[in-house]
Amino acid sequence: MSDGERPIRVLLADDQALVRGALAALLALEDDIEVVCELDDGAGAAQAVRAHAVDVAVLDIEMPEVGGLEAAEEVLAAGTGCAVLIVTTFGRPGYMRRAVEAGVRGFVVKDTPAEELAQAVREVHAGRQVLDPGLLAQSLSEGRSPLTVREQEVLRAALDGSTVREIAQTLRLSPGTVRNHLSSAIGKAHARTRAEAAAIARDRGWL
C-alpha cells in the first residue's frame, strides 16, 4: 500500500466466533486491509456499513436471525458503494446464483487459502467479480431453481419435520393445497418424500 492510501475497510459477519476471529486475524496480516467491524449476525449489517464507512462486507450465508443473502440485499440497497463478498461453509450453487442476482461481487468457500481470501477482498473492492470456479460450473449445469415461491415456502416449512396440517396452519393454507405444492416440489426435486425433497432443495440452495 502506497503512502497516502487508506486500507480497505472490512466488515465481518459470521455467527461462529472462532471462524470470525480466524478470518479477522488472517485479514489483519495484510497491510492494505483493516477489519473495522465484526458482527455475529447479518442484522444491522447495513447500518454498520454506513457507520464504519465499510468498503467490503464479508458475510456468512447461514446466520441465526438475518442470513448473509438477506443482509447482502440490505447492504447493497443502502447505496453506500460497499461491495459484498460471501465467504461460507455452504458451497451450494443455488446460493451463489441468488447472491450474484442480488448484486454480490464475490462468493468463495471458507477453505479458500488466506492469500486468496485477501485477494478476493481486493478484487471485489476494485469492482471485479470473484466466484468459486467449481460452484460456478455446477451452477451453470444445474440451472435455476424449478420451484415456485409457494413450493419453496412449503418445503422450507417441512425442513423441521412438520406435518401437512402444521405446515398448513403456519402458511394459512388448506391441507389439500399444501399436499399439492409438496407433491409438485417432490417431483421437481426427483425425491421420494417431502423430507428428502426439502433436503435436496436446501443443499442446492433453492430455499
Query: Residue 146: its pLDDT value, please?
Result: 86
Phi and psi at residue 84, in whole multiples of 5°? Answer: -120, 135
Place of cell 457507520: 51
Would the pLDDT of 136 be above 80? no
Query: Residue 98: its pLDDT value, please?
Result: 82
Question: Average per-residue pLDDT in the chain?
Answer: 88
Query: Residue 9: its pLDDT value, please?
Result: 97
Report field, pTM of the whole predicted structure over 0.75: no
Q: pLDDT by residue (tens digit) across 181-206? A: 999 999 988 888 998 998 888 877 78
Contact 110, 87 (CB under 8 A): yes
Q: pLDDT by residue (tens digit) across 32-72? A: 999 999 999 999 999 999 999 999 999 998 888 898 999 99
Burial of 199 (0-12, 13-18, 19+ CB in 10 A): middle
Who's near 38: CB < 8 A, 6+ residues apart?
A: 11, 12, 13, 20, 24
| pLDDT band of 93, cuts 50, 70, 90 | confident
| pLDDT band of 25, cuts 50, 70, 90 | very high
Q: pLDDT by residue (tens digit) across 137-180? A: 666 556 677 889 899 999 989 988 889 999 999 999 999 999 99
As a whole number of angstroms, the distance between CA 153 and CA 167 comes to: 9
Query: Residue 100: its pLDDT value, please?
Result: 87
Residue ranges and CATH numbers for the domains of the chain are 8-141 (3.40.50.2300), 149-203 (1.10.10.10)
